[in-house]
Amino acid sequence: MAQLRQDYQEFVKRDAEIVMVGPEKPDAFRRYWRERHGPLVERHAEALGARRYVQSHTLADDANALLRASRAAAEPYDGITEVWWDDRAAFEASLRTPEGQAGPKLK
């Protein structure tokens, strides 16, 4: 059973819903996200002060369509990214780093 840290409320989590854009097939996108983007974030995590990075990949499953239809939900996401910082100050500091300023231009 997982146990929450005592200072859990101090953590800041930023979620981003990922919607694939472009000609890629879903499998190619997931492979890129897992094999290229994940390692990219890992390389820069310390400079950004990121404590945790999580990728949640959507499964291509008929149950997803049924669930979405039953709730009149929006179009499905291709995944969700979570990035965690120790607190709001650490998150804001990450935005002032060269890596935070570069954003999608990071290599």
Total domains present in the chain: 1
Residue closest to 83 by CA, chosen among 43, 55, 44: 55
Predicted local distance difference test score (pLDDT) of residue 18: 61
Residue 74, domain extent? 13-102
pLDDT digits 0-9 by tens, 73-105: 777 777 888 888 888 888 889 989 998 888 778
pTM greater than 0.75 (yes/no): no
Q: Answer whether 102's CB lies under 8 Å from 48's CB.
A: no
CA distance 17 to 62: 20
48 versus 63: which is more confidently predicted?
48
Q: Let me know if residue 7 belongs to a domain.
A: no
Residue 17 lies in a domain: yes
Model pLDDT, residue 4: 40
8 assigned to some structural domain: no
Q: Does 81 reside within a domain?
A: yes
Residue 107 lies in a domain: no
The residue among 39, 41, 24 whose CA lies nearest residue 78 is 24
Q: What is the CATH number of the domain that holds 71?
A: 3.30.70
Question: Torsion angle of alpha carbons 78, 88, 95, 19, nearest 10°?
Answer: 10
Residue 78 counted as domain residue:
yes
Residue 47: pLDDT band (50, 70, 90) is: very high
Q: Note whether residue 84 is domain-resident.
A: yes
Q: Is residue 3 part of a domain?
A: no
Question: pLDDT band for position 22 (50/70/90)?
Answer: low
